[in-house]
């Protein structure tokens, strides 16, 4: 089949408009890659207060209408913006999305029930008869069930299929039973059938898994892992029951937006062939971080949400031993106050070795990818992970734990064959991590070997091209079903 696909990609965040994590990178770049392959894919996100003003100003008001969800009568504004060839829609409703926070709201069950319904209603209003609606994470988990229950009786919606991608199974959107009727306006039968219910609660993630035609997640290994109790976040039984329709496709990153040879966020540009700029990035980064400008010391970086998932307890537990090494350690992250405080404290204890930046700063992140030598990512679990892909692209060698997408993207350096693009360890064990870091540090001192490793890492290819092809193949397969 060669005909052009029509896809609506629905997400709760997307770059360059608004970002809190990896989902935004995916929603910002996958549609573009699919579009470049000749398909009509469009993006829709909520119009949050946090969307950068320049985009809000550029967007044109397309239309508005009212919609009823249970007893609620809601305004839906649809604003449209074309960004790099991809038509993007913003769903505007100030009472739901003009908030200080994207996700930390007491009525988030209502915000995202509203969003899913507004998206479905919008389709008919703009006359975009999508072949497939591609939903992402719990915020869009209610869309498939609403489509099936309330819309597929109309011919416009009858043939629309749904894909649901899990970016992180931990965040499920768990609410009381009353939400089924009050927020989603769905009949009790769904509760009785169990498709919306988990642990006696309404679970938006489970709804997406049960009611979508195909479920995907963001790496092959994670697709296997989530069928087990260790990684299944309580929903492993649902993953096993749906395993015939469960696929793992690794994420890519935009190689245009993340290119050390023309990235204007970094101090100096460089490439695989001309690495000199990378050393200048390191020097300037050290200067900005208040660390000694020493090229002989490896700079280890951590850029992360500061949450348990990221394996930070391993780092905290061996930080004193790590500081016995001749290294510098640059941290950028925000999250749980426990980790924020630990890292601030350790930076106070080792001011010449650690720089702790407890904030969210996308430009600084880029400077750190470019200026560091080693990128530490010892995650407890990792659906895909993008940070290790950015670090490869900028020649900062990843040290990762072998889980999820980290296992699928980082091959351990083999001293005999010279192959590999990073360092890995298997057990969730601080000493194993520490000895892997020590191995990397000692290799760093062998300049020729290290430079070869940096070049090989930079040559690893995790652009979207291959993964976009896999999604397209899957879309066709779904339409033929």
Binding site per annotation, positions for ADP-alpha-D-glucose: 19
CB 133 within 8 A of CB 143: yes
3-state secondary structure of 418: coil
3-state class percentages of the chain: helix first, strand second, coil last, to nearest 5: 40, 20, 35
Instruction: Measure the N-to-C terminal CA separation of the chain; round to a whole number of Å.
Output: 13
Nearest-approach distance from CB 277 to ligand ADP, in angstroms? 20
Kindly indicate which of the ranges 19-27, 74-82, 91-99, 416-424 contains the residues binding ligand ADP, using the contact rule CB under 6 A.
Answer: 19-27
**Cβ contacts of 445-448, under 8 Å, gap ≥ 24:** none
Decide if residue 361 touches ligand ADP (CB under 6 A): yes
Q: Which residues pair with 247 in a beta bridge?
A: 216
Our CB check for ligand ADP shows the closer of 387 and 396 to be 387
Contact characters 233-272, ligand ADP, x per CB under 6 A? ----------------------------------------
Q: Does 333 bind ligand ADP (CB under 6 A)?
A: yes
**φ and ψ at residue 245, rounded to 5 degrees:** -110, 30
Q: Does 334 bind ligand ADP (CB under 6 A)?
A: yes
Query: Does residue number 52 form part of the binding site for ligand ADP (CB under 6 A)?
Result: no
Is the CB of 117 or the CB of 165 nearer to ligand ADP?
165
Site string for ligand ADP, 63-82 (x = CB under 6 A): --------------------
The residue among 174 and 307 lying less far from ligand ADP, judged by its C-beta, is 307
Q: Applying CB under 6 A, does 103 fall inside the site for ligand ADP?
A: no
Measured from the CB atom, the residue of 362 and 426 that comes closer to ligand ADP is: 362
Instruction: Rule CB under 6 A: say whether 365 interacts with ligand ADP.
Output: yes
Work out the angle between the directed axes of helices 312-322 and 430-444 (0-180°, nearest 10): 60
Task: Give the per-residue contact string, 291-330, with ligand ADP (x = CB under 6 A; - = no).
Answer: ------------xxx-------------------------
Q: How far apart are CB 357 and ligand ADP at their closest, in Å? A: 7
Q: Which residues contact 305 (CB under 8 A, 6 or more apart)?
A: 21, 333, 334, 335
Nearest to 142 by CA among 123, 107, 118: 118
Q: Which stretch binds ligand ADP (CB under 6 A): 94-102, 206-214, 382-390, 469-477?
A: 382-390
Going by DSSP bridges, is the β-strand pair 201-203/197-198 parallel, antiparallel, or unpaired?
antiparallel
CB 176 → ligand ADP: shortest distance, Å?
Answer: 27
# residues near ligand ADP by CB under 6 A: 17
The helix-helix angle for 447-459 and 430-444 (nearest 10°) equals 110
Closest CA to 394 of 462, 319, 334: 462
Scanning the structure block, which residue is given the tokens 């899990």?
A: 166
Closest residue to ligand ADP, judged by C-beta, is: 22
DSSP sequence for 313-346:
HHHHHHHHHHTTSS-EEEEEEEE-HHHHHHHHHH
Residues between 122 and 161 that touch ligand ADP (CB under 6 A): none
**Taking contact as CB under 6 A, which single stretch among the options 128-136, 187-195, 332-340, 464-472 is the one that binds ligand ADP?**
332-340
**Which stretches of the chain bind ligand ADP, using CB under 6 A?**
21-22, 25, 303-305, 332-334, 360-362, 365, 385-387, 390
């Amino acid at each position: 089949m060669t005909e052009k696909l029509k896809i609506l990609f629905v997400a709760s965040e997307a770059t360059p408009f608004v970002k809190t994590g990896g989902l935004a990178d995916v929603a910002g770049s996958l549609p573009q890659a699919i579009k470049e392959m000749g398909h009509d894919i469009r993006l829709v996100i909520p119009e949050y207060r946090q969307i950068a003003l320049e985009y809000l100003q550029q967007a044109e008001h397309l239309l508005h209408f009212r919609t009823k969800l249970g007893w609620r009568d809601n305004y839906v504004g649809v604003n449209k913006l074309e960004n790099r060839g991809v038509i993007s829609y913003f769903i505007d409703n100030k009472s739901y999305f003009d908030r200080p926070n994207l996700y930390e709201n007491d009525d988030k069950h209502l915000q995202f029930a509203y969003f899913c319904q507004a998206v479905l209603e919008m389709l008919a209003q703009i006359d975009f008869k999508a072949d497939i609606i591609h939903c992402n994470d719990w915020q869009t988990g209610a869309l498939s069930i609403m489509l099936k229950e309330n819309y597929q009786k109309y011919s416009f919606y009858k043939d629309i299929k749904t894909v649901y991608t899990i970016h992180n199974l931990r965040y499920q959107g768990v609410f009381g039973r009353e939400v089924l009727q009050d927020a989603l306006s769905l009949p009790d039968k769904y509760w009785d059938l169990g498709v919306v219910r988990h642990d006696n609660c309404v679970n938006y993630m489970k709804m997406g898994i049960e009611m979508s035609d195909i479920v995907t997640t963001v790496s092959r290994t994670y697709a296997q892992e989530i069928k087990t109790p260790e990684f299944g976040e309580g929903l492993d039984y649902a993953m096993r029951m749906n395993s015939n329709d469960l696929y793992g496709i690794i994420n890519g990153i935009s190689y245009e937006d993340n290119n050390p040879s023309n990235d204007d966020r970094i101090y100096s540009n460089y490439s695989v062939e001309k690495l000199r700029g990378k050393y200048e990035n390191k020097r300037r980064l050290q200067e900005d971080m208040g660390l000694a400008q020493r090229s002989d010391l490896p700079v280890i970086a951590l850029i992360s949400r500061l949450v348990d998932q990221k394996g930070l307890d391993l780092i905290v537990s061996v930080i004193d031993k790590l500081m016995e090494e001749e290294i510098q350690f640059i941290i950028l992250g925000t999250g749980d106050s426990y980790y924020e405080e630990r890292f601030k404290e350790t930076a106070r204890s080792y001011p010449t070795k650690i720089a702790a930046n407890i904030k969210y700063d996308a430009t600084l992140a880029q400077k750190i990818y470019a200026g560091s030598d080693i990128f530490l990512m010892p995650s407890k679990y990792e659906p895909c992970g993008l940070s290790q892909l950015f670090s490869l692209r900028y020649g900062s060698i990843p040290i990762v734990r072998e889980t999820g997408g980290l296992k699928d993207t980082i091959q351990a350096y083999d001293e005999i064959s010279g192959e590999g693009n990073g360092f890995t360890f298997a057990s969730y064990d601080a000493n194993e991590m520490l000895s892997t870091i020590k191995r990397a540090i000692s290799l760093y001192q062998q300049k020729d070997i290290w430079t070869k490793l940096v070049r090989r890492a930079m040559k690893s290819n995790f652009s979207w091209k291959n993964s976009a092809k896999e999604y397209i193949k899957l879309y066709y397969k779904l339409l033929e079903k």
